[in-house]
Structure 1
Amino acid sequence: MDKLKRVLSGQDDGSADGSADGSGILERANQVSTLAWGTRMKGFLICFVLGALSSILGTCLLWIPGVGLAVFAVLYSVGNICALASTMFLIGPSRQLRTMCAKERALATAIMLWKNYGLALLFCVLQFVAFTWYGLSYIPFARDAVLKLFSLCV
């Protein structure tokens, strides 16, 4: 159980002895973090919900004549940054950056970074689905629970 907590809190770098070089600023930020697991979950949920609401509000305001595009760009960008920051509560910033392009998260990361102006609304929806799936990958058994929930609904 201690190993699981270390891995989820970003304190385990995956090496056999568990030592980290600590030379980077992100590694040092991970090492000084003293948040309890419950606090990390609360931070994740608050940032994720605020990010989702900001992006959804920006998407809704896209259709306002004149200023809609600028409002959309600002709110949607702030929402994405806030949502991305939410997963840093779960595993820390350094590990977040290292695992964004891992094999099981590569598709979600690619969709999240994709830019196509003609299909912006479709990609907004796909981006939130991808980010939700990406965020759930940091919570033990969360993906399995969501898959089981959807299989019960079908």
Structure 2
Amino acid sequence: MAMDKMNYAFERVKILVGMEVDEEQLVEGNSSFIDDFNQQCALSTKQRLYGFVTCFVAGLACTLLSMLVFFNPIKFGITFTFGNLLSLGSTAFLIGPKRQVTMMLDPVRIYATAIYLASIIIALFCALYVHNKFLTLFAIMLEFGALIWYSLSYIPFARSMVSKVMVACFDTEW
């Protein structure tokens, strides 16, 4: 009994990090575009790690380089947002695009995902079409806060802990 639970947990960890697992569960008649894409783009563990590191480093570099153009909010917004998208996409190399989308749409983090994606769209809209420096910086701050909240959704109990700390810090009743 304990060995079955341990094997099950080990298989779940293998799936989470993108290792090859027996995929006989897929029914050929129910295969979707994402399933077909995942099967055609099967990467080895080494290739997944290289893809993750490359995409993550590129995203981090774009995010850090965006600080060089901080006083030009339009260039900053585009570079910062592109860096965030690359960093977010890097995890798809580890767990696969289907699992990435499934995890993003999980009921626990659906609102965080929606706010994060909406803030990306708002930041790009303010930078590319509105050309208002104040609105672009405000949208970037919203995007950064949404990124933090989205990231905290992957750490168990992190969002509730941060919420309690924020309430304690801003509680005006003595």
Same fold, TM exceeding 0.5? yes
Q: If the TM-score is normalised by the length of the shorter chain, which range does it land in?
A: 0.5 to 0.7
Cα 1:69–1:122, aligned 2, differ >3 Å: closer, same or farther?
closer
The RMSD of aligned alpha carbons is 3.4
Distance between the aligned counterparts of 1:44 and 1:130, measured in 2?
A: 22
Q: Deviations over 1:45-98 (max 9, x none)?
A: 3312321331232244130xxxx2332233123213212211211221222223
Q: Which residue of 1 aligns with 2:88?
A: 84
Aligned residues: 131
Cα 1:48–1:123, aligned 2, differ >3 Å: closer, same or farther?
farther
Q: Which residue of 1 aligns with 2:26?
A: 19
Kindly report which structure 2 residues correspond to 1:71-150, keeping only aligned pairs within 5 A, or say none.
71-115=75-119, 117=135, 119-130=138-149, 132-133=151-152, 137=154, 143=155
Q: Give the drift of 1:10.
A: 8.4
TM (normalized to structure 1)? 0.62
Secondary structure of 1:79's match? helix
Q: Give the drift of 1:106.
A: 2.5
CA contact (8 A) 1:58 1:71 kept: yes
Cα 1:62–1:100, aligned 2, differ >3 Å: closer, same or farther?
same
* Unpaired segments ≥5 residues, structure 1: 138-142, 147-154
Q: Give the drift of 1:100.
A: 1.1
* Unpaired segments ≥5 residues, structure 2: 1-9, 123-134, 159-174
Distance between the aligned counterparts of 1:37 and 1:133, measured in 2?
A: 26
More helix by share: 2
CA contact (8 A) 2:69 2:76 kept: yes
Distance between the aligned counterparts of 2:32 and 2:59, measured in 1?
A: 31
Structure label with greater radius of gyration? 2
TM (normalized to structure 2)? 0.56
Distance between the aligned counterparts of 1:114 and 1:95, measured in 2?
A: 21
Cα 1:3–1:28, aligned 2, differ >3 Å: closer, same or farther?
same
Secondary structure of 2:62's match? helix
